[in-house]
Amino acid sequence: MTILKNRFLIRKVLPKEFFKKEALVNRNFKVADIELS
């Protein structure tokens, strides 16, 4: 829960440039999870 809250706060504070990078990272993690499983 704390991690989700922190991410929510980060989203409020940081600019959109960060979200583009985070979205790419999250997408890469999802792909990696699928490949591993």
pLDDT of residue 1: 56
Query: Whole-model pTM?
Result: 0.33
pLDDT at 14: 67
CA dihedral 13, 24, 34, 12 (to 10 degrees): 10
| pLDDT tens profile 1-37 | 577 777 777 767 667 777 788 888 888 788 777 777 6
CA 34 – CA 4 distance, rounded (Å): 23
Extract the tokens encoding 33. Answer: 């999870």
Domain ranges in the chain? Answer: 2-36
Residue-level pLDDT at 37: 65
